[in-house]
Amino acid sequence: MLDKTVLEMTTAPPKVGYHLISSVVDDLTPDYVKQFRSLPATTTERELKEGRVEHLDQKAENGQLVTFHWVTAQLDGETRRVNGQHSSTMLERRIVKEKFPKDLKVHREHFEVDDGNGLALLFRQFDDRASGRSPLDISGVYQGLHPELLDINRKIAKLGIDGYVWYQRQVEKVPMPIGDDAYGLFSDTGLYPLLHWINGLFAVKSEEMKHQPVVAAIVGTYMTNEAAAKDFWQEVVNLPNGDDDPSPQSVLTNWLLAMQAKKIDRPEKAHVYQGCIYAWNAFRDNKSITAIRDDIKKNFFAIHE
């Protein structure tokens, strides 16, 4: 049995071990970067990852940088860097390339820390994982710019854009914005009827449908034959999933439900898309099927009108 004193020590929150000394906003210049880079790093500094440096460098190239928030700490009488390794590395390299960005500021905070634990606790306050901007947060910001889309569930709106982008890039081979930039497509009013319809389609519990390649297939069929797509996918969502029903809609429903229930392994996205289009083509050709074909020999199946 744990001693009461030990129990209190293990359950008590850590005491604050850092104290703010100064907080200022300075001009960000090459000399400022060099001075910051010359400081000894603390053991809290993350391992340098070239992908993060390149990501910031691309932001600099696009003129998208904002004020940096750099932190230093005084420990055992010495000032050390707490964060800012990736941003300062990127800027240092731009000094060498003579491509240093202009008119930037840096918010510099300096703390005194009691010990190593205080230093670790201080580091945790910056770029807190719980405060990170998720893709859904970014998507929601772009969606919120357009009043016509505010009645659409945010997760469904994001899924609609993700499916549209996947279809255009992977099937139609059309260049599309990637990552967070894709959500700028919420400004395309031509997509609004599609997004509203998908939102209504997924109003019922249909978790097996809420996957990017399935939505990509929904998008492709909708763009090919809107009226038929609405009938087909509504039946995929609503039909009873009896094993003896050979209709393409029911067979597709069973296939998606089996994946969702992990009764079968979920194939790669391209195969999920292909299986959906196989069922759609059988539906348009008025044929019964007994199983889903998702093999891809050379290309995706052409979508039958």
Residue 173 has pLDDT above 70, yes or no: yes
Share of residues in the chain with pLDDT > 70 (%): 93
pLDDT band of residue 303 (cuts 50, 70, 90) is very high
pLDDT given for residue 13 in this prediction: 52
Any idea which fold 12-131 has?
A: 3.90.1530
Listed by start position, the domains of the chain span 12-131, 135-284
Share of residues in the chain with pLDDT > 90 (%): 77
CA distance 196 to 6: 58
pLDDT given for residue 10 in this prediction: 42
pLDDT given for residue 156 in this prediction: 97
**Least confident stretch, 1-10, 57-66, 162-171, 276-285:** 1-10
pLDDT band of residue 120 (cuts 50, 70, 90) is confident
Mean pLDDT, residues 48-56:
93
Residue 199 has pLDDT above 80, yes or no: yes
Task: Name residues whose C-beta falls within 8 Å of residue 265's C-beta, 6 or more positions apart in sequence.
Answer: 259
How do beta strands 18-27 and 105-113 pair? antiparallel
Question: pTM of this prediction?
Answer: 0.74
Residue 183 and residue 161 in contact, taking contact as beta carbons nearer than 8 Å: yes
Task: Name residues whose C-beta falls within 8 Å of residue 24's C-beta, 6 or more positions apart in sequence.
Answer: 107, 108
Higher-pLDDT residue of 202, 47? 202
Residue 4 has pLDDT above 90, yes or no: no
Give residue 257's identity as a one-letter amino acid code: L
